[in-house]
Chains A and B, each alone.
Chain A
Amino acid sequence: MSSKILIVAEHDGAKLNPSTAKCVTCARAIDGADITLVVCAVNAAAVAAEAAQLAGVSRVLTLENSANEHALAAVLAPQIAALAEPYSHVFGPSTTFGKDLMARISGLLDAPQVSDIMAVESPTRFRRPIYAGNAILTVEVATGSKVIGTVRTASFAAAAAGGPAPIEKAAVNVELPKHTRFVSISAARSDRPDLQSAARVISGGRALGSAEGFKILYALADKLGAAVGASRAAVDAGYAPNEMQVGQTGKIIAPELYVAIGISGAIQHLTGIKDARTIVAINKDAEAPIFEVADIGLVGDLFQIVPEIERLL
């Protein structure tokens, strides 16, 4: 049996977000998957060309509309819903973009959503983490129902290069709402790698003591070519901006190397890092729960240890 899968591409207008390639890998785990990517944009050409290179993608559809300049769920959802009729599955990434959008699509289609898919057991059966990852639920979608899904990107590798798949312009005839308007986005410009796709991540906790204290992390990260993350406690205290938060309610990541510095390791934080290949913990409290999951632990004063590591590199 074949499954027709529509994946909503995430992008910033110029480049495809790496989360999309992970959704493709998840979709390919479904038997007989025939995968279509859809790019909603003002000018979709560059992103569509990139999307067409992903192995396993049969075609890329573009939905171009001046209303698609910013990824507003209320504007995108009716367009995707109008396109979704022939598909058995509609997937998007479990990023803030995908979580905001896919559930709105689920509502418009009256089709159930499986959130945070971490494994595919059959076209209708999936595994997903619940209770901050403290339990794994296997869930079966009722027969005959379309499956809306958000893909837990940390659980899947990015699809390799392949293709190129054909790119087709699509058009839908739906009225788009004007009740939701983009005002602005403030994003810290950074030359560091993207936290969600970086191979190496250095994260700091409340023990850093201040935004100033985080600077020793940035120095180490730059030496390692690493992204920088933060615990909820550090973000709440104002030491780091919200987009750096790693954990149940922040970003779920799976780097090759994760270095937790001055992070005690609350369960909500651990759920965000447990797919990391190697976890290193540096903490002055030998009893900190982070040491229960760390592959390499070092008990001591981070303000001495971190600069020393930097010198040794």
Chain B
Amino acid sequence: MKRILVGIKRVVDYNVRIRVKPDGSGVVTDGVKMSINPFDEIALEEALRIKERGGAEEVVVVTVGPADCQQQLRTALAMGADRALHVQADGGIEPLVTARVMLKLVEREQPLLVILGKQAIDDDNGQTGQLLAALWNRPQATYASKVELHDGAARVTREVDAGLETLDVDLPAVITTDLRLNEPRYVKLPDIMKAKKKPLDTLTLSALGVEPRVQLKAVSWSPPAQRQKGVLVKDAAELVAALKQKGLL
């Protein structure tokens, strides 16, 4: 079956103001709204559109994390994914561990394409897609803003520092999404009801034979240095004078 695997991560919602705990042991997540990582929503939307155009027959969403992550998997199923896989893992999972899990799932599911967000907005690591592509020895097309499938290959436009780069990658391949790839659909109420009946399987790291290694130990968290609020000037002339005084003009 022509299948697309989409990775999603449960993260603190985009709109939440992040606060570091006073003891530096993490950021405040109690009672905070959690959502699907926005880049992963874009990844799922792209997979659904490819399926709707006839380019794939099944979209499978995957997450690695604690039991709470099933909420986000249900949301993904409501968006239109056909089934979900939850790999249970507690604590901070490192990108290399996530990529190893994804590799095991790729071996089981034999997808045509794996689509992931380019980064998660919590850790901002931006590694999983490239790691998976390396471990799988397959192409990667990161920061995608356009994806077209042609027999056996994908033509991907990427947002790079210099502009827009286009690559052809043979399938199967890993694609990571940038912001302008698409606008994810809203979930409708009847779809939420339907999503409850879709299959959601739970797996464990040990069943997949992946060791939850810790090679990156989080030592402490601290708030960023704050900039001081400056002065207000009343017009363009004052602004220019102030810049000259600072030696900036």
Q: Are A293 and B229 in contact (CB under 8 A)?
A: yes
Residue interface mask A287-300, B partner, CB < 8 A = 1 = 00001111111111
Describe A's contact surface by its main secondary structure: mixed
What CA separation (Å) do A134 and B124 show in the bound complex? Answer: 11
Interface centre among B12, B96, B124, B178 (most CB of A within 10 A): B124
Q: Are B217 and A180 in contact (CB under 8 A)?
A: no
How distant is A192 from chain B, measured CB to nearest CB, in Å? 14
B167 touches A (CB below 8 Å): yes
Q: Are A131 and B214 in contact (CB under 8 A)?
A: no
Q: Are A274 and B167 in contact (CB under 8 A)?
A: no
Tell me the residues in window 175-205 of chain A with beta carbons closer than 8 Å to chain B beta carbons. Answer: 177, 179-188, 196, 200
Interface locus among B58-66, B136-144, B202-210: B136-144
A269 touches B (CB below 8 Å): no
Tell me the residues in window 35-75 of chain A with beta carbons closer than 8 Å to chain B beta carbons. Answer: 72-74
Contact A74 B140, CB 8 Å, known A97-B161, A99-B126, A296-B242: yes
B236 contacts which chain A residues (CB < 8 A)?
A: 298, 305, 308-309, 312
Out of B169, B215, B248, which one reaches A141, CB within 8 Å? B215
Q: Are B218 and A139 in contact (CB under 8 A)?
A: yes
A3 touches B (CB below 8 Å): no
How distant is B77 from chain A, measured CB to nearest CB, in Å? 27
Residue of B nearest to A184 (CB): B166
Tell me the residues in window 125-156 of chain B with beta carbons closer than 8 Å to chain A beta carbons. Answer: 125-127, 129-135, 137-143, 145, 155
Interface locus among A23-31, A82-90, A162-170, A234-242: A234-242
What CA separation (Å) do A188 and B160 show in the bound complex? Answer: 12
What CA separation (Å) do A256 and B119 show in the bound complex? Answer: 29
12 contacts between A and B (CB under 8 A): A103-B130, A107-B132, A112-B96, A131-B18, A131-B121, A131-B122, A134-B20, A136-B222, A267-B17, A278-B246, A294-B229, A298-B235
Binding site for B on A (CB under 8 A): 12, 72-74, 77, 95-97, 99-101, 103-108, 110-116, 125, 129-142, 145, 177, 179-188, 196, 200, 224, 232, 235-236, 241-243, 248-249, 251, 256-257, 267, 274, 278-280, 282, 291-300, 305, 308-309, 312-313
